[in-house]
Amino acid sequence: MQKTFIIKVCGMKFTANREQVEKFPVDLLGFIFYPLSKRYVGENTQTGLFNSGKPKVGVFVNENAFEIMALAKNMKLNWIQLHGNENPKTCNLLKNQGLRIIKTFSLDENFQFDNTKVYEQAADFFLFDTKTDLPGGSGQKFNWKILNRYEGNTPFILSGGIKPEDAEEIKGIIHPKFAGVDLNSGFEDKPGLKNIGNLEMFITKIKSNINCV
Protein backbone atom coordinates (compact mmCIF):
# COMPACT_ATOMS: atom_id res chain seq x y z
CA MET A 1 0.00 0.00 0.00
CA GLN A 2 1.05 3.58 -0.55
CA LYS A 3 1.52 5.82 2.49
CA THR A 4 -1.56 7.88 1.63
CA PHE A 5 -4.38 5.35 1.54
CA ILE A 6 -7.51 6.67 -0.18
CA ILE A 7 -11.04 5.90 0.99
CA LYS A 8 -13.57 6.64 -1.75
CA VAL A 9 -17.28 6.20 -1.02
CA CYS A 10 -19.21 6.00 -4.27
CA GLY A 11 -22.86 6.13 -5.27
CA MET A 12 -23.92 9.00 -3.02
CA LYS A 13 -27.56 9.86 -3.67
CA PHE A 14 -29.11 11.26 -0.48
CA THR A 15 -28.07 14.58 1.05
CA ALA A 16 -28.48 13.63 4.72
CA ASN A 17 -26.60 10.38 4.15
CA ARG A 18 -23.80 12.22 2.36
CA GLU A 19 -23.51 14.59 5.32
CA GLN A 20 -23.12 11.61 7.66
CA VAL A 21 -20.54 9.89 5.46
CA GLU A 22 -18.31 12.92 5.11
CA LYS A 23 -17.87 13.14 8.89
CA PHE A 24 -15.55 10.14 8.60
CA PRO A 25 -11.96 10.30 7.24
CA VAL A 26 -13.21 9.79 3.68
CA ASP A 27 -11.08 11.24 0.90
CA LEU A 28 -13.41 11.15 -2.12
CA LEU A 29 -17.18 11.09 -2.58
CA GLY A 30 -18.50 9.57 -5.81
CA PHE A 31 -21.65 10.66 -7.67
CA ILE A 32 -22.87 8.51 -10.55
CA PHE A 33 -24.04 10.18 -13.76
CA TYR A 34 -24.87 6.96 -15.61
CA PRO A 35 -28.62 6.71 -16.32
CA LEU A 36 -28.75 2.90 -16.08
CA SER A 37 -27.34 2.90 -12.54
CA LYS A 38 -29.65 2.57 -9.53
CA ARG A 39 -27.54 5.34 -7.99
CA TYR A 40 -27.99 7.77 -10.89
CA VAL A 41 -28.12 11.37 -9.66
CA GLY A 42 -29.25 13.00 -12.90
CA GLU A 43 -32.98 13.00 -12.16
CA ASN A 44 -34.75 14.33 -9.05
CA THR A 45 -31.45 15.20 -7.40
CA GLN A 46 -31.92 16.02 -3.71
CA THR A 47 -31.32 19.63 -2.70
CA GLY A 48 -27.81 20.15 -1.36
CA LEU A 49 -26.48 16.78 -2.48
CA PHE A 50 -23.38 18.32 -4.06
CA ASN A 51 -22.78 20.92 -1.31
CA SER A 52 -19.90 18.97 0.18
CA GLY A 53 -16.53 20.14 1.37
CA LYS A 54 -14.98 16.82 0.33
CA PRO A 55 -13.48 16.33 -3.13
CA LYS A 56 -16.23 15.12 -5.47
CA VAL A 57 -15.89 12.45 -8.17
CA GLY A 58 -18.28 12.36 -11.11
CA VAL A 59 -18.64 8.83 -12.48
CA PHE A 60 -19.43 8.57 -16.20
CA VAL A 61 -19.81 5.75 -18.74
CA ASN A 62 -18.99 6.58 -22.37
CA GLU A 63 -20.30 10.13 -21.97
CA ASN A 64 -19.42 13.00 -24.30
CA ALA A 65 -16.34 14.79 -22.98
CA PHE A 66 -17.89 18.26 -23.37
CA GLU A 67 -21.00 17.17 -21.45
CA ILE A 68 -18.68 15.93 -18.69
CA MET A 69 -16.88 19.29 -18.64
CA ALA A 70 -20.18 21.16 -18.33
CA LEU A 71 -21.38 18.98 -15.45
CA ALA A 72 -18.00 19.21 -13.74
CA LYS A 73 -18.26 23.00 -13.81
CA ASN A 74 -21.90 23.13 -12.68
CA MET A 75 -21.52 20.56 -9.89
CA LYS A 76 -18.00 21.67 -8.90
CA LEU A 77 -16.57 18.20 -9.48
CA ASN A 78 -12.86 17.80 -8.75
CA TRP A 79 -12.38 14.33 -10.19
CA ILE A 80 -13.79 12.39 -13.13
CA GLN A 81 -14.05 8.60 -13.10
CA LEU A 82 -14.40 7.09 -16.56
CA HIS A 83 -16.07 3.71 -16.28
CA GLY A 84 -16.60 2.81 -19.95
CA ASN A 85 -14.51 2.41 -23.10
CA GLU A 86 -13.07 5.91 -23.04
CA ASN A 87 -9.74 6.30 -24.83
CA PRO A 88 -6.61 8.11 -23.61
CA LYS A 89 -7.46 11.13 -25.79
CA THR A 90 -10.68 11.67 -23.83
CA CYS A 91 -8.82 11.29 -20.54
CA ASN A 92 -6.22 13.85 -21.59
CA LEU A 93 -8.86 16.26 -22.86
CA LEU A 94 -10.50 16.28 -19.42
CA LYS A 95 -7.19 16.33 -17.58
CA ASN A 96 -6.16 19.42 -19.51
CA GLN A 97 -9.19 21.17 -18.05
CA GLY A 98 -7.71 20.77 -14.58
CA LEU A 99 -9.73 17.68 -13.67
CA ARG A 100 -8.12 14.67 -12.04
CA ILE A 101 -8.83 11.37 -13.76
CA ILE A 102 -9.63 7.86 -12.51
CA LYS A 103 -9.82 5.31 -15.33
CA THR A 104 -11.69 2.12 -14.56
CA PHE A 105 -10.83 -1.34 -15.86
CA SER A 106 -13.14 -4.32 -15.44
CA LEU A 107 -11.19 -7.41 -14.40
CA ASP A 108 -11.69 -11.13 -14.70
CA GLU A 109 -9.23 -14.03 -14.90
CA ASN A 110 -8.49 -13.24 -18.56
CA PHE A 111 -7.73 -9.53 -18.14
CA GLN A 112 -4.48 -8.37 -19.73
CA PHE A 113 -2.81 -5.57 -17.79
CA ASP A 114 -1.02 -4.52 -20.96
CA ASN A 115 -4.33 -2.79 -21.78
CA THR A 116 -3.59 -0.19 -19.11
CA LYS A 117 -0.27 0.96 -20.55
CA VAL A 118 -1.65 3.50 -23.02
CA TYR A 119 -3.42 5.25 -20.13
CA GLU A 120 -0.31 5.67 -17.97
CA GLN A 121 0.08 9.39 -18.68
CA ALA A 122 -3.64 10.07 -19.03
CA ALA A 123 -4.93 8.96 -15.61
CA ASP A 124 -4.01 9.92 -12.07
CA PHE A 125 -5.33 6.60 -10.77
CA PHE A 126 -6.65 3.37 -12.18
CA LEU A 127 -9.64 1.69 -10.58
CA PHE A 128 -9.84 -2.08 -10.84
CA ASP A 129 -13.42 -3.34 -10.67
CA THR A 130 -15.18 -6.65 -11.36
CA LYS A 131 -16.19 -7.43 -14.93
CA THR A 132 -19.99 -7.73 -15.11
CA ASP A 133 -22.75 -7.10 -17.65
CA LEU A 134 -23.33 -3.56 -16.35
CA PRO A 135 -20.59 -1.18 -15.15
CA GLY A 136 -20.13 -0.94 -11.38
CA GLY A 137 -22.26 -1.53 -8.31
CA SER A 138 -22.58 -5.27 -8.87
CA GLY A 139 -21.52 -6.32 -5.38
CA GLN A 140 -19.30 -8.99 -6.96
CA LYS A 141 -15.60 -9.51 -6.27
CA PHE A 142 -12.91 -10.54 -8.71
CA ASN A 143 -9.95 -12.67 -7.67
CA TRP A 144 -7.72 -10.14 -5.90
CA LYS A 145 -4.65 -12.31 -6.55
CA ILE A 146 -4.86 -11.04 -10.14
CA LEU A 147 -3.50 -7.72 -8.84
CA ASN A 148 -0.07 -9.33 -8.52
CA ARG A 149 0.15 -9.28 -12.33
CA TYR A 150 -0.05 -5.49 -12.45
CA GLU A 151 3.38 -3.95 -13.07
CA GLY A 152 2.37 -0.46 -14.18
CA ASN A 153 3.41 2.90 -12.76
CA THR A 154 -0.04 4.35 -12.12
CA PRO A 155 -1.41 3.79 -8.59
CA PHE A 156 -4.68 1.87 -8.38
CA ILE A 157 -7.84 1.83 -6.29
CA LEU A 158 -9.52 -1.49 -5.53
CA SER A 159 -13.25 -1.79 -6.17
CA GLY A 160 -15.83 -4.51 -6.70
CA GLY A 161 -17.90 -6.11 -3.99
CA ILE A 162 -15.92 -4.87 -0.99
CA LYS A 163 -17.83 -5.50 2.24
CA PRO A 164 -17.26 -4.44 5.89
CA GLU A 165 -15.77 -7.81 6.80
CA ASP A 166 -13.06 -7.51 4.10
CA ALA A 167 -10.93 -4.96 5.96
CA GLU A 168 -8.34 -7.41 7.31
CA GLU A 169 -7.92 -9.19 3.96
CA ILE A 170 -7.47 -5.87 2.19
CA LYS A 171 -4.83 -4.82 4.69
CA GLY A 172 -2.94 -7.97 3.69
CA ILE A 173 -2.72 -6.95 0.01
CA ILE A 174 0.92 -5.98 -0.56
CA HIS A 175 1.48 -4.07 -3.77
CA PRO A 176 3.58 -0.92 -4.29
CA LYS A 177 0.83 0.77 -6.33
CA PHE A 178 -2.14 -0.16 -4.13
CA ALA A 179 -3.49 3.30 -3.25
CA GLY A 180 -6.97 2.86 -1.81
CA VAL A 181 -10.45 1.35 -1.90
CA ASP A 182 -13.77 2.26 -3.47
CA LEU A 183 -16.78 1.45 -1.26
CA ASN A 184 -20.26 1.18 -2.68
CA SER A 185 -22.95 -1.51 -2.75
CA GLY A 186 -21.40 -3.65 0.01
CA PHE A 187 -22.10 -0.83 2.48
CA GLU A 188 -25.69 -0.04 1.52
CA ASP A 189 -29.11 -0.50 3.08
CA LYS A 190 -30.56 0.30 -0.35
CA PRO A 191 -29.03 1.70 -3.56
CA GLY A 192 -27.33 4.97 -2.71
CA LEU A 193 -28.01 4.81 1.05
CA LYS A 194 -24.84 3.93 2.96
CA ASN A 195 -24.96 2.09 6.29
CA ILE A 196 -23.09 4.47 8.59
CA GLY A 197 -22.24 1.84 11.22
CA ASN A 198 -20.69 -0.51 8.68
CA LEU A 199 -18.68 2.31 7.12
CA GLU A 200 -17.36 3.42 10.49
CA MET A 201 -16.33 -0.13 11.41
CA PHE A 202 -14.53 -0.69 8.10
CA ILE A 203 -12.74 2.67 8.05
CA THR A 204 -11.55 2.25 11.63
CA LYS A 205 -10.09 -1.18 10.82
CA ILE A 206 -8.56 -0.21 7.49
CA LYS A 207 -6.89 2.90 8.90
CA SER A 208 -5.26 1.02 11.79
CA ASN A 209 -1.76 -0.38 11.27
CA ILE A 210 -1.85 -0.30 7.48
CA ASN A 211 1.22 -1.95 5.96
CA CYS A 212 2.57 0.96 3.94
CA VAL A 213 5.47 0.60 1.52
Q: Which residue has the higher pLDDT, 123 or 135?
A: 123
Which pLDDT value is given to residue 89?
A: 97
Average pLDDT, whole number, for the chain? 93
Which pLDDT value is given to residue 135?
A: 62
Which pLDDT value is given to residue 43?
A: 78
Q: Which residue has the higher pLDDT, 185 or 44?
A: 185
Q: How many CB atoms lie within 10 A of CB 169?
A: 10
pLDDT reading at 137 higher than 70: no
Q: Is 32 exposed, middle or buried (0-12, 13-18, 19+ CB in 10 A)?
A: buried
204: amino acid identity, one letter: T
E strands in 33-99:
56-60, 79-82
DSSP 112-178: -GGGGGGGTTT-SEEEEEE--SSSS-------GGGGGG---SS-EEE-SS--GGGHHHHHT---TTE
Which pLDDT value is given to residue 26?
A: 97
Contact 44, 13 (CB under 8 A): no
- Buried residues in 176-195 as b, exposed as e (16+ CB within 10 A): ebbbbbbbbbbbbeeebbbb
Report how far apart, in Å, the C-alpha atoms of 163 and of each of 3, 136, 158, 198, 199 are.
22, 15, 12, 9, 9
CA distance 52 to 19: 8
Which pLDDT value is given to residue 134?
A: 63
**183-212: pLDDT as tens digits:** 999 999 999 999 999 999 999 999 886 544
Confidence of residue 136 (pLDDT cuts 50, 70, 90): low
Across the range 45-55, mean pLDDT stands at 95
Which pLDDT value is given to residue 208?
A: 81
Classify strands 178-183 and 6-9 as parallel, antiparallel or unpaired: parallel
Q: Which of 183, 209, 211 is nearest to 10 (CA)?
A: 183
Architecture of the CATH domain 6-207: Alpha-Beta Barrel (3.20)
Which pLDDT value is given to residue 212?
A: 42
Which pLDDT value is given to residue 1?
A: 46
The domain spans of the chain are 6-207
Confidence of residue 42 (pLDDT cuts 50, 70, 90): confident
Helix H or strand E encompassing 198: helix 196-207
pLDDT reading at 213 higher than 50: no
Which pLDDT value is given to residue 207?
A: 85
154: amino acid identity, one letter: T
Q: Taking phi first (over 0 means left), then psi (-120 to 50 degrees means alpha), and beta for anything else, what does residue 79 get? A: beta
**60-101: pLDDT as tens digits:** 999 999 999 999 999 999 999 999 999 999 999 999 999 999
